[in-house]
Amino acid sequence: MNNNQIRPQLSPQDAAAMLAQLQQQNPQAYARLQAMRPELMETGNEHLLNNALAASASGHGHGHGHTHSSSCSHSQAQMHFSQPVPEPPPKPDPTQMSIVQAVQYNEIERVKQLIESGQVDVNTPDQEGCYLLHWAAINNHIELIRYLIAKGATVDLIGGDLKSTPLHWACRQGCTEAFFLLVDNGAAIKSADVNGVQPIHIAAQYGQIKILAYLLGSGVDVDCVDERGLTPLMYSCIGPSSGYVPIPNSSHVCCTQFLLTFGADVNHQEPTRHYSALHFSINNQNPISFHSLLKHPQINIHVKNGDNFDPLIFARMRQNSDAVAQLERRIQSTKAHIKPVFLQRYLVNAGIRKWLTRFFMLFIMTLIGLSVNSYEHSYWLRILFPIVVIFLCSHLFSYYVLEAKSVDHFAFAYVISSSVLMYITYWIYLQEPKFTISDIIYHFSTVYGLYCVRCIKTLNPGFIKQQNMTLEGNSLTKEKICIAFARDPRWTLDHFCVTCLIRRPLRSKHCPVDGSCVAKFDHHCTWLNACIGGRNYFYFVRVLTFGTIALIIWMCKALHLIFDDFEQYSIKYLLTQIYDPWFIYMLMLTAFNAVWVTLMTSFHLINAVFLGVTLNERLTGFRYSYFRDENTGKRTNPFQRQKFKNFLETFGLFRLMSMCRYTRIDWSQVYDINQISGAKMN
């Protein structure tokens, strides 16, 4: 096993000697080292050291380049522990190659010659106890594997010092084609090597997501353990060793989230050192695994290992500053601060917290305006009073109400509060007794805009549920989807969500905030605290458009008023004597809002109407494959050609669309750009 062993610069013998010396001379330092560098101790332990040596010498380490075949019979320990890797020897002449060399170099003619002349038997091991099928599998030589199997090679041959099968070797190097070829020829997917390590453990550790998907879809237990009691989840947190080189083009991503989605036990602890997956991810500096684990609802961040270290202490000892910061924030935000018990009943409720956040924002914004406006008090009091009150209130607020989630409500609370205050100010300062057209447009825009905000918040933006997945008319279970994903080389991670376990429709994306895939995903709006997708985008554009109209009318009216008075009084006199400070405060607020809302509206309209793309597609630089012309490979935009249809769709004028014979596309059912026929697209 060479999973989580570090690579000391010392030779392993020297390291062992040094550690033994340290243990004698300074037992305290030794104990500290033991806590901080458990793997080093393992390599210091003679028995485990020998194991590690055996592991590094075994087949697992070999063969990703065909080229180092000739250094195979060699001083393996140096190969793995000393840094500069020797230059690969030149490729030998094919006609002189041994059978093992011929397999490693994919010289199929030479292999055929040797086997068919009867000089070599396909099931004879080489000096290291490895078989031809092992070498063919680890190098992903598909033709050779087919040939060897046809010539009677046994698929589940056990070879190398780890006593592993060709399937193990293919897994580790990310040879997906070789893996499926072996499986199709009856290779046992649950075979265990000398350490009880199964293909699922290797796939999880080396990030072979397609192989992992196949194994989980075929019913391999997601929590199966090896002889050390490690689960696939722990292997994914350990991650590949630093020198790992997968074969080119193999997909190689962190599998932790995928295993968690499949129901892996997130708090399982291995029996010897009592490490949890969280400990492993901290120990091996694996931030992707660490974040996936931390997001899991059932994660216990106080679980202690055998040395009585919880993840926070452990992260401090391992000097994993990112993990320390994350864990401290998490512990801070989950503390139950609420002291008067009768308050707990109300403040634990998420809905009440949400509304408190909204009112808090409205209260603060109103307080600033009102206190500035109170003439009868001195200048200093008017400034100091709101500062003191806001300071006290925000402390009380963060003490009782605020948690990580409440922060999400602040931007939305600002949007709503400023709209309400603007509207009230309009009635007081700008509305003349006689209604003009612009007054009517203003009132309508504000009221209708707020109604659309409500619609965005309550409507489903297009969340895709696993239950309604179909492939060629058949509904799919998550197991079937995983196998389909694994088997089809055209399905990349762009087409498969490892969190929702669904086949992703075209233009959809996984929203991390809502934890679900959204059809025709646009963006997750922080200002409205809502997901914007294909189903509610037109409400979003209406909010922006009517918001811009309302803001511009407000500003025009206010500026008009000022310019009229400007002819009679000086500007200083106007600002200090004529206008209420409240009005000036609202004027500044509205001017600020008008600028950013107008910019945002123009940006969204250009994207949606002129380019016909979502914000997500725009921001990711059109990187999705459907923006590439299949024949020429150049960038094209298939949505740009139909501006009028885009306009109607953007504003949700669906009846007009059908009158113009445009079809409204249900993006949750489109998986391929060719599904939308050319006639409709033009």
CA torsion, ordered 40, 44, 50, 55, to nearest 10 deg: 0
- Give the x-and-dash track for 490-529 against Zn ion (CB under 5 A): -------x-xx---------xx-xx--x------x-----
234 versus 497: smaller Cβ distance to Zn ion:
497
User: In this structure, are residues 515 and 554 in contact, taking their beta carbons and an 8 Å threshold?
Assistant: no
* Shortest reach from residue 535's CB to Zn ion, in Å: 13
68 versus 524: smaller Cβ distance to Zn ion:
524
307 versus 514: smaller Cβ distance to Zn ion:
514
Question: What Rg do the C-alpha atoms of the chain give, in angstroms?
Answer: 33
* Shortest reach from residue 512's CB to Zn ion, in Å: 8
DSSP 3-state assignment of 324?
A: helix
Q: Give the interface size with Zn ion as a residue count (CB under 5 A).
A: 10
Q: State the Cα–Cα distance between residues 264 and 260, nearest whole angstrom.
A: 5
Q: State the Cα–Cα distance between residues 500 and 491, nearest whole angstrom.
A: 15
- Give the x-and-dash track for 77-96 against Zn ion (CB under 5 A): --------------------
- Cα–chain-centroid distance for residue 411? 24
* 64 binding Zn ion? (CB under 5 A): no
* Shortest reach from residue 615's CB to Zn ion, in Å: 12
C-alpha distances in angstroms, 178 versus 138, 171, 246, 402, 514? 8, 9, 14, 53, 38
403 versus 514: smaller Cβ distance to Zn ion:
514
277 versus 511: smaller Cβ distance to Zn ion:
511
327 versus 517: smaller Cβ distance to Zn ion:
517
Q: Give the residue from 146, 147, 168 showing the smallest Cα distance to 157.
A: 168
C-alpha distances in angstroms, 668 versus 459, 465, 654? 16, 10, 18
Q: Give the residue from 581, 593, 588, 608 showing the smallest Cα distance to 551.
A: 593
DSSP label at 377?
S
Start-to-end CA span in the chain (Å): 59
* Shortest reach from residue 465's CB to Zn ion, in Å: 11
Question: Strands, E, within 439-573: which ranges?
Answer: 470-471, 474-475, 496-497, 502-503, 509-511, 516-518, 523-525, 530-532
* Shortest reach from residue 513's CB to Zn ion, in Å: 4
- Give the x-and-dash track for 459-478 against Zn ion (CB under 5 A): --------------------
Task: List the interface residues with Zn ion, window 569-598 (CB under 5 A).
Answer: none
Q: Which of 209, 222, 233, 531 binds Zn ion (CB under 5 A)?
A: 531
Output the residue with the shortest Cβ distance to Zn ion. Answer: 531
* Shortest reach from residue 277's CB to Zn ion, in Å: 21
* Shortest reach from residue 531's CB to Zn ion, in Å: 3
Q: State the Cα–Cα distance between residues 223 and 230, nearest whole angstrom.
A: 9
DSSP 3-state assignment of 83?
A: coil
* Shortest reach from residue 281's CB to Zn ion, in Å: 22
Q: Is the dihedral of CA 476, 478, 482, 485 positive or negative?
A: positive
**Token couple for 282:** 């901290």
315 versus 500: smaller Cβ distance to Zn ion:
500
User: In this structure, are residues 655 and 661 in contact, taking their beta carbons and an 8 Å threshold?
Assistant: no
212 versus 368: smaller Cβ distance to Zn ion:
212
Beta strand pairing call for 509-511 and 516-518: antiparallel
Q: State the Cα–Cα distance between residues 504 and 180, nearest whole angstrom.
A: 23
363 versus 624: smaller Cβ distance to Zn ion:
624
CA torsion, ordered 658, 661, 667, 668, to nearest 10 deg: 60
* Shortest reach from residue 524's CB to Zn ion, in Å: 3
510 versus 618: smaller Cβ distance to Zn ion:
510
DSSP 3-state assignment of 523?
A: strand
99 versus 500: smaller Cβ distance to Zn ion:
500
Q: State the Cα–Cα distance between residues 248 and 242, nearest whole angstrom.
A: 17
Helix or strand run (H / E) with residue 417: helix 407-425
Strand partners, 475: 470
DSSP label at 269?
B
* Shortest reach from residue 511's CB to Zn ion, in Å: 3
* Shortest reach from residue 575's CB to Zn ion, in Å: 43
* Shortest reach from residue 527's CB to Zn ion, in Å: 13
* Shortest reach from residue 249's CB to Zn ion, in Å: 25
421 versus 452: smaller Cβ distance to Zn ion:
452
531 versus 586: smaller Cβ distance to Zn ion:
531
With tokens 């109209």, the residue in question is 549
Q: Which residues bind Zn ion (CB under 5 A)?
A: 497, 499-500, 510-511, 513-514, 517, 524, 531
